[in-house]
């Protein structure tokens, strides 16, 4: 098996900003271990094969730098969970200890 442990999944959840429950950790650790085990089949592929990141043969897509209408402020804020004084209102970004 791929040896993804319950602690590994808890770590991944923290990295991914997911406050998962203990019950989910139990469920996900077995499932993610089995999935990673299966997809690890790609490990058979020789190292000297070049990677493909995208399939459209395009580079440096450029267009003229022209001014276009942007979203009015009230429209941009309309879907916000909280807005105040014409801005997004967000929770503090620094911890208490700082």
Partner 1 sequence: MTGSELISLDAAELARRIHAREVSSVEVTRAHLERIEAVDGPAESGVHAFLHIDADGALAAAEAADRAIAEGTPASPLAGVPIALKDNLTTTDMPTTCASRILEGWRPPYDATVVARLRAAGLVPLGKTNLDEFAMGSSTENSAFGPSRNPWDLTRIPGGSGGGSSSAVAAGEAPLALGSDTGGSIRQPGAVTGTVGVKPTYGTVSRYGLVAFSSSLDQIGPCARSVLDAALLHEVIGGQDKNDQTSVGAPLPPVVEAAEAGARGDLAGVRIGVVTQFSGEGYQPGVLAAFTDAVRLLGELGAEVVEVSCPSFAYALPAYYLIAPSEASSNLARFDAMRYGLRVGDDGERASDEVMSLTREAGFGAEVKRRIMIGTHALSAGSYDALYGKAQKARTLIVRDFTAAFETCDVLISPTTPTTAFAIGERVDDPLAMYLADLCTIPSNLAGNAALSVPCGRSADDGLPVGLQVMAPALADDRAYRVAAAYEVARASVDTAPRIPELRALETSR
Q: Where does the chain show beta strands of DSSP type E?
A: 83-84, 87-88
Q: Does 1 bind partner 1 (CB under 8 A)?
A: no
**92 near partner 1 (CB under 8 A):** yes
Determine if 59 is a binding residue for partner 1 (CB under 8 A): no
Q: CA 38 to CA 29: how far, in whole Å?
A: 14
What's the distance, Cα to Cα, between the start and end of the chain in Å?
42
Closest approach of partner 1 to the CB of residue 88, in Å: 6
79 binds partner 1 (CB under 8 A): yes
Residues in the interface with partner 1 (CB under 8 A) total 58
């Amino acid at each position: 098996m791929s040896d993804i442990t319950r602690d590994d999944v808890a770590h991944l959840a923290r990295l991914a900003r997911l406050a998962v429950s203990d019950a989910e950790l139990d469920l996900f650790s077995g499932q993610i271990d089995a999935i990673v085990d299966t997809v690890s089949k790609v490990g058979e592929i020789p190292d000297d094969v070049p990677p493909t990141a995208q399939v459209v043969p395009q580079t440096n897509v450029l267009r003229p730098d022209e001014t276009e209408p942007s979203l009015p402020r009230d429209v941009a804020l309309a879907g916000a969970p909280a807005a105040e004084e014409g801005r997004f209102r967000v929770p503090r970004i620094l911890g208490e200890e700082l």
